[in-house]
Structure 1
C-alpha cells in the first residue's frame, strides 16, 4: 500500500510563487542539455521576448558553456489554474 499526502500540505502557497510559470531547455548538440523551470513575476511592461532573454541569461550565468546552445523548448504561462 502506498501512502499519499494531501496536496494542501505539500504544495507551495501561490502567494510565494511568481505570476508566470516557465520551462526552458537548451542543448549543445552531441555535448549536453539542460532544462530548468520555475516561476517569476516579470517587471511591468515586460514582453515575452524580454522574459525569454532574461531567463536564458540566467541559465547561461549558471552554465556558461550553454552560451551558444540551441533553444529546444520554451514555455511561459500564467501561473494559475
Structure 2
C-alpha cells in the first residue's frame, strides 16, 4: 500500500471539507503555523500544501490578510 505524502493528504482533506461544505468560498484558512500545529507537521509541509492548492485554484492568497477558499466553480469538476 503506497504512503501518501503529508502535504497531499492535508490538501485532500481541505478539498473534502470544501466538497462537503465544511469550508465555503471566502472562508479564511488557518495560518501556516496553525495548520502545522493542527496536523503535527512542519511549516514547510503546510507551505507545500498551500502551494499545491493554489496551483489547483482551490485557494487564493491575499498578502497581509491570509489564505482563502476559492469559489469551487472555478476549479471543481462535475462528478
Whether TM exceeds 0.5 here: the answer is no
Bigger RCO (CA 8 Å, 6+ sep): 1
Which structure's residues are more often strand, by fraction?
Answer: 1
